[in-house]
Amino acid sequence: MTRYPVDRRDRESLRALQAERLRETVEHAYENVEFYRAALDDAGVSPSEISSVDDVRRLPMTTKEDFRDEYPDGLFAVSDDEIRRIHASSGTTGKPKIVGYTDDDLSNWSEVVARSLAASGVEAGDTVQNAYGYGLFTGGLGLHYGIEELDATVIPIGGGQTQRQIEMLQDLDSDVLSCTPSYALYVAETAEEMGIDPAELALSTVIFGAEPCTEPMRAEIEERLDVTGIDIYGLSEVIGPGVSNECHEAQDGLHIWEDHFLPEVVDPATGDPLPEGEEGELVLTSLTKEAVPVLRYRTGDLTTLNYERCDCGRTMVRMDNVTGRTDDLLIVRGVNLYPSEIESVVLELDEVAPYYRIDLDREDELDRMTLSVELDDGFDGSRRDVRESLRTRLENVLSFTPDELTLAEPGTLARTEVGKVQRVFDNR
């Protein structure tokens, strides 16, 4: 009997638990973090007034800039000797965001990751090859302890060393691979180069996260590796991976572990809460965190919430697979574009491999976009036709065409072995 069965608790008792934990979290933040005390005083909210889940809307919001301003540990709510571990998430600019964990935070984290793995279809005794980066990044160690918590076997190989990665997959019959979606494809490609059919590996599941993954990208991973592709979601500021996870039964949205994280979706421009089903920015409030409680953290991730009962029986809310971030938005000659929208169009074309890059420049005060896509291995058709159908599709779906469309030879666009893939190069 698994320790992580499908959670079917009724929503009323869940709401009551959330309300109680919300109040404790606000009290804890108010009493121990100067930043939150000032923000709550400014908003005129006293922790004792928090009595229901809806009261979350009265709380001030927290942003990534607040983490930077309070660097390194201004948002910590416990004394240094209670901190058992530190992680950091690097931004592209400035200081990293530092987060800390108490003993209880670490065990809650392992629990939500174990729950995520169970929802992915991983069972005790399975072997999970963990190809997330170890170190300050929360992916590696976050997955690691959740795998052990589930009584599965972890292979802590980390990112990179792809040939050895594949030998391990083969020799140790790993059931599950956890990594970024772009790395899953790179593993498939490298295996083929080594003369190994990736679909013949024992692998049955790939759990991917840390990067957005569009549906065509998921389909590509599932087909090439002959696996079920499952999306895991999380961010260091809230805990790390394991905030939410798809269930393998339905593969239709990621269940948010609501007894630990309270979600809202708001209008990114105004911060106003949106009705269920409308797309907006995900905002998360931690309900059990001790070291770094977060009140209404603006994740920057765009999603929708779905409270309908899932086919798997889990009662916890589902969020849509995140494929866009508020700060990913590219404004090119006044047109709003998300890289994921371009990806979806590009990957629908069989003649094209799942590798592309977007370069943005400014010439004579005008934006200029170059889209480079890689031809599929073995392509022998007309390049002009591929270019033409890409242009037509982009125009039809996005009302946009790049200034330059480059077709690259198979295997020539950069692959990412370690860390997150970069596909957009904005030089404006």
What is the contact surface with Zn ion in residues (CB under 5 A)?
247, 250, 310, 312, 314
**Which of 243, 187, 245 is CA-nearest to residue 220?**
187
Nearer to Zn ion, 7 or 281 (CB): 7
Name, in order, each residue with C-beta under 8 angstroms of 409's C-beta and a sequence gap of 6 or more: 374, 375
Q: Return the number of the residue (224 or 314) whose C-beta is nearest Zn ion.
A: 314
In terms of CB distance, is 296 or 314 closer to Zn ion? 314
Min CB(262)–Zn ion separation in Å: 19
C-beta of 251 vs 340, nearer to Zn ion: 251
Which DSSP state fits 288?
A: S
Structure tokens at 85: 């571990």
Distance of CA 88 to the CA centre of its chain: 16
Nearer to Zn ion, 28 or 314 (CB): 314
Cβ proximity to Zn ion: between 225 and 319 the closer is: 319
Query: Of the two residues 144 and 255, which places its CB atom closer to Zn ion in the complex?
Result: 255
* Residue from 172, 68, 191, 181 nearest 129 by CA: 172
Nearer CB in complex with Zn ion: 247/371: 247
Residue 54: CB atoms within 10 Å: 12
Q: Residue 49 in contact with residue 55, Cβ under 8 Å?
A: yes
Q: What is the residue-wise DSSP string for 144-210?
A: HHHHHHTT-EEE---S--HHHHHHHHHHTT-SEEEE-HHHHHHHHHHHHHTT--GGGSS--EEEE-S
Under 8 Å between Cβ of 75 and 66: yes
CB of 119 to Zn ion, least distance (A): 7
* Chain position carrying tokens 């977060």: 294
Min CB(322)–Zn ion separation in Å: 17
> Left, alpha or beta for 96 (phi > 0: left; psi -120 to 50: alpha)?
beta
Based on CB atoms, which residue is closest to Zn ion, 17 or 250?
250
Contacts of 161 (CB under 8 A, 6+ apart): none
* The pair of three-digit structure tokens given for residue 293, joined into one six-digit string: 């409680």
CA 185 – CA 376 distance, rounded (Å)? 13
Q: How far is the CB of 120 from Zn ion (least distance, A)?
A: 11
Cα–Cα separations (whole angstroms), residue 71 to 124, 138, 291, 327 = 39, 18, 15, 21
CA distances from 59 to 40, 43, 223 (A): 7, 7, 45
Least spacing, CB of residue 118 vs Zn ion, in Å: 12
Question: Nearest approach, Cβ of 131 to Zn ion (angstroms)?
Answer: 25
In whole angstroms, how close is the CB of 310 to Zn ion at the nearest point?
Answer: 3
User: At its nearest, how many Å lie between Zn ion and the CB of residue 47?
Assistant: 34
For residue 34, with 0-12 CB atoms within 10 Å meaning exposed, 13-18 middle and 19 or more buried, which class applies? exposed
User: Quick one: 311 or 377, whose CB is closer to Zn ion?
Assistant: 311
Decide whether 116 or 344 has the Cβ nearer to Zn ion.
116
As measured in angstroms, the least distance from the Cβ of 249 to Zn ion is 6
Least Cβ distance, residue 247 to Zn ion (angstroms)? 3
Smallest distance, Å, CB 150 to Zn ion? 18
Residue burial 228-260, b: 16+ Cβ < 10 Å; e: rest: bbbbbbbbbbbbbbbbbbbbbeebebbbbbbbb
Instruction: Kindly report the length of the chain.
Output: 428
Sheet containing 176-179: order of strands: 153-155, 127-130, 176-179, 205-208, 228-235, 240-246, 254-256, 318-319, 305-306
